[in-house]
Amino acid sequence: MNITRENIDELNAVVKVDIAKDDYQEKVDKILKDYRKNANIPGFRKGHVPMGMVKKQYGKAVLVDEVNKLLQDALNKYLTEEKLDVLGNPLPKEQENFDWDKENYTFEFELGLSPDFKVDLDVKEPVTHYKIVADDEMVESQIKNMQKQYGKLVSKETAEEGDIVAGTFKNEEEGIDNNTSVELEKLKGKENLDKFIGAKAGDTISLNTKGLFEDDHDLIKHLKIEHDKAHDLDIEVEFTVTEVNHQELADLDQELFDKLFGKDQVKTVTELKEKIKEDAAKQFQQQSDQQLMNDITEKLIENTEFDLPKEFLQKWIQTVGEEPMTEEEAAEEYEKSEKGLRYQLIEGKIMKDNNLEINFEDLKAFATDKIKAQMAQFGQMDPSEKELDDIAARILSNQDEAKRLSEQLMNEKLLEFYKENMKFNEKEVTYEEFVKEIYE
């Protein structure tokens, strides 16, 4: 067997594989002998079928199968030994009038080669690193929610501002008939609020759904309708009051603090506010880091120039799906995936150049931390080491789970690497400011 390579340019090559009869004949003969031993052909005893008949019936199929196996093994070995960094998979070149009746064969494969490039982390325009903080309004809102959660409902005769009114929304034409409780502070506009003020059990209130609540999404819960329907819904509904309640807030005292955070962990309202800010910062960190990673990705793609074997990749895309694609479909798919491929190459280059890798102990520790955090959410604060090890072993034995966790861990390692090696514009924002800046 002989393998040679011709480099077309820096990104494309053709590998030629010559296979001679001596490379495959011994294996083919052995398989055909085994076939002869086990063949059941009418008119012949088992094991006594003439070899000529076996070759006639099975010879071509066995030959093709063995040559293809030999070809694939040889090609994979060649790519490994030559340390060729290829994109996609080798594509066999079409050969007109290929003749399997010959004894020697030549196969050619197109290769798409990974480009050689450098990654410069010193970008001209630094990425913005958002630090999301809880402002006073958010803290006060969170405190009020805590007081509501541990407060109590007190029944009353007539509704006033700030009360909760239970009842049923109805609209026969739209099939709406839903029991719910409306927090009057979530109604939009004085006109809607005034319709509820003074209402008592048995009263029916006519309302228009357009602009009924501050947030249109509240219509989903109160009317039991689909999400898409809630936006700009403009119909008349009847609300029949069944009960009026006033929400008494829990006192901001040690009893409440202990319920929220454990005994004596928080002792004053000032400490409560600090705790809320601290917890909010931890929750916002994930969003901040995700946005930072997104922005770094875009910046590195923009800042790192290299060519790709575009024509080869489009041809390869045509062949990899369950259904073959047309040239036009493959070209369209390439345009969609090109940016992702570029970042994959950049990421791989950074990992290789900086020895960023994951070993099993890293992965096990990462999985264990995830397990502990999840168990803590369900009140299991101190699981045994054996229990954690058993769960981690079970999770990591699942290849899909192990791969998912590996990708998460490598993402964290990369982000930490970027934070240590890139310059950023630090910007402190409230969550509302962050959402407006990123999504609007």
Predicted pLDDT of residue 117: 96
The answer to whether residue 318 scores a pLDDT higher than 80 is yes
Indicate the pairing of strand 176-183 with strand 105-113.
unpaired
Query: What CATH number does domain 2-113 carry, 3.40.50.300, 3.30.70.1050, 3.40.50.720, 3.40.190.290?
Result: 3.30.70.1050
Q: pLDDT tens digits for 355-404?
A: 999 999 999 999 999 999 888 878 787 889 999 999 999 999 999 999 99
Residues 6+ apart with CB under 8 A from 194: none
> What gap in Å lies between CA 440 and CA 436, rounded to an integer?
5
What pTM was estimated for this model as a whole? 0.74
Q: Residue 380 has what pLDDT?
A: 80
Q: What average pLDDT does the segment 85-103 reach?
A: 91
Same fold, 2-113 and 152-248: no
Quickly count: other Cβ atoms within 10 Å of residue 215's Cβ: 10
Q: How is residue 382 written in tokens?
A: 């101190």
Residue with tokens 């064969």: 105
Question: Which CATH architecture fits 271-439?
Answer: Orthogonal Bundle (1.10)
Q: How confident is the model at residue 161 (pLDDT cuts 50, 70, 90)?
A: very high
* Greatest pairwise CA separation for the chain in angstroms: 103
**Model confidence over 300-315: pLDDT tens digits?**
999 999 999 999 999 9
What's the pLDDT score for residue 40? Answer: 74
Q: Is 103 helix (H, G, I), strand (E, B) or coil?
A: coil
| pLDDT at 420 exceeding the cut of 80 | yes
The phi, psi pair for 132, rounded to 5°, reads -90, 125
pLDDT tens string 24-52: 999 999 999 988 888 777 777 777 788 88
Q: Convert the pLDDT of each residue in 224-261 to its tens digit.
A: 999 888 888 999 999 999 999 999 999 999 999 999 98
**What's the Rg (C-alpha) of the chain?**
34
Domain boundaries, the chain: 2-113, 152-248, 271-439
Exposure on the CB side of residue 341, measured as CA atoms within 13 A: 19
Of 58 and 155, which is predicted with more confidence? Answer: 155
Comparing 63-77, 378-392, 410-424, which segment has the lowest mean pLDDT?
378-392
The pLDDT of residue 323: 85
Write down the CATH number for the domain with range 152-248: 3.10.50.30
Give tens-digit pLDDT for 116-137. Answer: 999 999 988 999 999 999 999 9
Q: Give residue 47's pLDDT.
A: 75
Report d(CA 237, CA 268) in Å as an integer.
46
Q: Which residues sit opposite 206 in a β-bridge? A: 238
Structure confidence at residue 74 (pLDDT): 94
pLDDT given for residue 246 in this prediction: 95
In the numeric block, which tokens belong to residue 272?
């409560």
230 phi and psi angles, rounded to 5 deg = -65, -35
